[in-house]
Amino acid sequence: MKSEGGRAVKLVKITDDCVNDNEKELIWMLGRMHAFENPGNYSLMGMLDFFASNHPSAIRLREEAIIYIVPIMDVDHAYNGGSGKDQTPVDFNRDWHSLSSQSHWNAVNAAKSWIDSTAQLNNFSVFVDSHSPPPSGQSLFYYIYDSDHHYINTRFVTETVKHIGNYQGTEEIYYSLYNAISQDYIVTNYDNAKHYNVTIETGFNNRTDGVEWTKDLYLLNGQYHGQAISDYIHGQANTNDIIIIIIIIIDNNDATNVVLNGNWLPSTNILGYYGDNYLSADTTTPSSAVFNATINTAGTYEIFTRWVSKPNFATNALASFTHSGVTDNFSIDMSLRRGNWVSLETYYLEAGEQVSLAISNTNANETVIADGLRISEIVDCESLSILDIQQEDFPFSSKLYPNPTKKQFTIQLENNTTLETVKVYDMLGHLFLTTNKYKVDTNSLGEGLYTVEIKTNKGRGIKKLVIR
């Protein structure tokens, strides 16, 4: 689907293709109906990143739901730098009239059509419209339509606050003022006893607890909402068809599977650790923490570790993963990226194989942290696709591999197809990389979701890319 200005309106679909779609719940999310509301845009991007991640709650959600996200509805104002708020002849979020009526904007008409067609196939459980209040607004709050069972929505907000932690949003119950807002439209046409329908307003400037909003905090806020949505869906999904993904986690306090050498001190001083605490070792005594695990089922697995961080922690901590008698070494900067499972590499591991991850201070320039080993099975299923809001046929056959990737990917094209250009965009539409090479270096890109535009002698196509 093209906007009035001829720009593609993108639709992201996220689900686990290994699980039958018939019993899955349906989730729809819209962003930037008011193009200048960037905080809401980053919050939605945080949700999208979470949904496509290896977080156990995200894996579970992809098994139990089909998620559709339109990150940017008003692509023309987003591109041109306009606000879109109260624009003529009609605001994007005042253009949602009845199902049978013709809306003014192409994207709204297409979204209505897609929502209706997908709602015929699956139970419509969640609708989120992501916005921001005026720049003077500091709060995070939720508009909740006053339907007969808005108590479901208010309970969801309460549960979300549990994930958010140290600051709270508020909910505002309202009656329809316009009868043409997307949230009103969804309630009118698709409401059911389990339906969660909300407009999230993510504030500018400072949060209600006085902390200044940053891009990273907006993304984190979105991840918290994503986890709350996963918990909500899990409470009502049919789990008969779910494929069990093998995840092994060895915490640092597991006396059976962790061998400590040297001088490791347990601590809870820095937040972001897994389990009860983390271990730290300075450089005065040679120290290593070895996490051991047994693989019961052969398959492809991704190896993770984690740490808490401070600016003066080691920038060159040594992590060594051993399997089948082979050891791979990784240098870790522990001054950054605290409190997340960080991917090291992907391996094919045999059933019965003994593997280990050693964290050590060998040649480290500062304190080293040991907080856990995670081994996650990778199931060969496509979980994310990026489409025009009205899907068009891909003009040629192509493949990106490896995907997910860490350092580079390769483009494979069908015979008689010549590569002309490759462009890599983030989910906000920012261009990060242009090349004409079949092998593309991604070291300059951060972790997250990207779209890859491939232009050939046969036309143009879009692929998704996950960098971890």
| Residues paired with residue 216 on neighbouring β-strands, in sequence order | none
SS3 10: strand
SS3 162: helix
Rounded CA separation 324/301 (Å): 14
Task: Name residue, tokens 């508009």.
Answer: 143
Contact 145, 176 (CB under 8 A): yes
| Residues paired with residue 170 on neighbouring β-strands, in sequence order | 141
In our burial notation (b when 16+ CB lie closer than 10 A, e otherwise), range 226-236 reads bbbbbbbbbee
Which ranges of 90-249 would DSSP assign to H, the alpha helix? Answer: 106-119, 151-164, 182-190, 215-234
Question: In this structure, is the dihedral angle defined by the CA atoms of residues 269, 274, 279 and 282, taken in order, positive or negative?
Answer: negative
Task: Name residue, tokens 């729809």.
Answer: 28
Given 63, 64, 171, 201, the catalytic residue: 201
SS3 252: coil
**345 catalytic per annotation:** no
CA-based max dimension of the chain: 73
How many alpha carbons fall within 13 Å on the CB side of residue 117? 9
- In angstroms, what CA-CA distances link 460 with 72, 215, 393, 414, 420? 21, 32, 10, 14, 10
Token reading at 195 = 């339906």
Rounded CA separation 443/243 (Å): 33
Q: What amino acid positions are annotated as catalytic residues? A: 201
